[in-house]
Amino acid sequence: MLPLIDRSFTCASVKYMSNARSNTFPKGFTWGTATAAHQVEGGNWNNDWWDWEHRPNTVCKEPSGDTCDHYNLFPQDIEMLAKLGFDNYRFSVEWSRIEPEDGEFSQAELNHYRAVIDACRANNITPVVTLHHFTTPRWVAAMGGWTNDSTADLFARFSEKAAKSIGQDVGKWCTINEPNMVATIGYLLGEFPPGTKSRDARRKANDVFCRAHEKSRDAVKSVSNAPLGITLAMQEYTINIEDESHRGAAEALRNQAWDGLEDCFLEVAKGDDYFGVQTYTRERFDQNGRIKPGEDMRKTIMGYEFRPQALEACIRRAWDKTGNVPIIVTENGIATSDDNERIEYVHGALEGVLTCIADGIDIRGYTYWSLMDNFEWTYGYGPTFGLVACDWKTQKRTPRPSAHWLGNIAKSNTLAPRPA
């Protein structure tokens, strides 16, 4: 046997041993796509987002309406996902449907999600269930939402009820999707509900979300053995200075961003079964703070820098900061009108995943956001993230070439070259 070339290096707390990179993913690596209830189901009128979309003077482009009618069309959507070659489906259950008023649980809605899980299992798809993906019942919002300590307890009560009623065949749990986005965009920037603009409110919301994750984790774990984690919106943050003397200031601002957006969640995830990394782009910092992507830079429909390499950087940070909790990429994707560009993006991101795996990082799966074009929050229906196009008038689904390309990678568990 040839000796391995030791390219080991130390990055923060962990020592990586670099092996030659293979194009094949580890045995048992999972391949999925993700959606969220409010973005695909339609008619979720009983949560804070529906209220927000219909208010004048918000930055929302349009209301969500029926969106993809996935509430009714889930059987065919899950069958389509399986036929494409994927083995798991990450979706969220809508708290405001299951608990429309304080302490009143709807058996009919629990049965609905039970049917979604059954449809996954019938198609050999592992259901990955998110308990909170951005939307909060109106009655919880009216009680102070995520700056009220008792919301963590209410969320734990809901989590336990959901896990008890529908948990038997759940493959994995995600307690909260990107709490950092709700806290920052909703409580600091005022662009998501509740539209607050306050540093203190953001800090408090981060804290309540962390407690909610811990309490929900305990509640779910008391009734289900399925692996559980939290997911975080992460971005690659790089320093971009012309004069070395500005490095200290730029790094301080970058660290401040990490502190407000990521660090408490990476800390609270220690001891979870997995950590969900969700990455779309990078942001650059100079001595004055964030720099917008330059005019000459390649950008996505969201206005983000086209940066597939960001995923690798975020995986490394999550692995280090959580003290080596196994990673699942629970979201990664691109809004583009050019499907070749989608393939290029995912191919680049997966190369980074393989490099991390060669370096000894335990990565267990990749999930593309999103299965189909859907309601992109304040941006409305403009950004097309889907592997599958959705005609919202006829509800016709049309898989794009990228859906077949990624589905085939899923089937072979090997990164194929990009089509010429």
Query: What tokens does 370 get?
Result: 């999103």
Sketch the per residue contact string, 227 through 256, with ligand BGC: x for CB under 6 A, - otherwise.
------x-----------------------
From 144-152, 175-183, 192-200, 392-400, give the range in contact with ligand BGC by CB under 6 A: 175-183
**Smallest separation (angstroms) from ligand BGC to the CB of 331:** 6
Q: Is 177 in the site for ligand BGC (CB under 6 A)?
A: yes
**Smallest separation (angstroms) from ligand BGC to the CB of 398:** 20
Rule CB under 6 A: choose which of 376, 397, 399, 407 binds ligand BGC. 376
**Smallest separation (angstroms) from ligand BGC to the CB of 377:** 6
How far apart are the C-alpha atoms of 151 and 169, rounded to whole Å? 27
From 48-56, 176-184, 396-404, 411-419, give the range in contact with ligand BGC by CB under 6 A: 176-184
Sketch the per residue contact string, 307 through 346, with ligand BGC: x for CB under 6 A, - otherwise.
------------------------x---------------
Nearer CB in complex with ligand BGC: 181/358 = 181
Rule CB under 6 A: choose which of 155, 275, 366, 369 binds ligand BGC. 369
Contacts of 417 (CB under 8 A, 6+ apart): none
Contacts of 375 (CB under 8 A, 6+ apart): 38, 39, 40, 64, 67, 381
Nearest to 36 by CA among 394, 390, 376, 392: 376
Helices marked H in 276-400: 310-321, 339-358
Contacts of 67 (CB under 8 A, 6+ apart): 38, 39, 40, 41, 42, 374, 375, 392
Sign of CA dihedral 257, 187, 133, 347: negative
Cα–chain center distance at 66: 22
Q: Is 181 in the site for ligand BGC (CB under 6 A)?
A: yes
Contacts of 183 (CB under 8 A, 6+ apart): 146, 202, 205, 206, 209
Q: Is 176 in the site for ligand BGC (CB under 6 A)?
A: no
How far apart are the C-alpha atoms of 372 and 386, rounded to whole Å? 4
Q: Is 178 in the site for ligand BGC (CB under 6 A)?
A: yes
Q: Is 373 in the site for ligand BGC (CB under 6 A)?
A: no
How far apart are the C-alpha atoms of 229 and 276, rounded to whole Å? 7
Nearer CB in complex with ligand BGC: 86/369 = 369
Rule CB under 6 A: choose which of 33, 36, 73, 174 binds ligand BGC. 36
Reply yes or no: is the peptide bond before residue 370 cis, omega within 30 of 0. Answer: yes
From 53-61, 142-150, 177-185, 312-320, give the range in contact with ligand BGC by CB under 6 A: 177-185
Site size for ligand BGC, by CB under 6 A? 11
Residue 82: what residue type? A
Nearer CB in complex with ligand BGC: 30/92 = 92
- What are the residues binding ligand BGC (CB under 6 A)? 36, 39, 177-178, 181, 233, 278, 331, 369, 376, 385
